[in-house]
Amino acid sequence: MNNRKSKWEITYHYMKDRFTLHGDRKPDIPVVHLALEIEEFRARGLAMLDTGFDAGIYPNIEIVKLF
C-alpha cells in the first residue's frame, strides 16, 4: 500500500486554546498557512479552517486585501 500523501491532501495544525480580553476561553482552532501572489502583490499568513459542513477558509486581513 502506498503511504505517500496525495498532492491534493491538506494537513492542518491546531492553534492552542487562547483567552479573550474578557477572560473567555476559546477552543483550539484548525489553521493553515496561506500564501497568495497576484502579479507583483504578495500576502501570506494564517487562515482559520471551518471543518464543518461547508468547510470554509477564513484568511487574515492581508490576504483579503488582495481581493
pLDDT tens column, 22-46: 878 877 788 888 888 888 888 888 8
Q: How confident is the model at residue 3 (pLDDT cuts 50, 70, 90)?
A: low
* DSSP 3-state of 65: helix
Give the pLDDT mean for 7-36. Answer: 77
Q: How far apart are CA 18 and CA 21, in angstroms?
A: 10
Q: How far apart are CA 12 and CA 18, in angstroms?
A: 18
Q: How far apart are CA 14 and CA 19, in angstroms?
A: 15
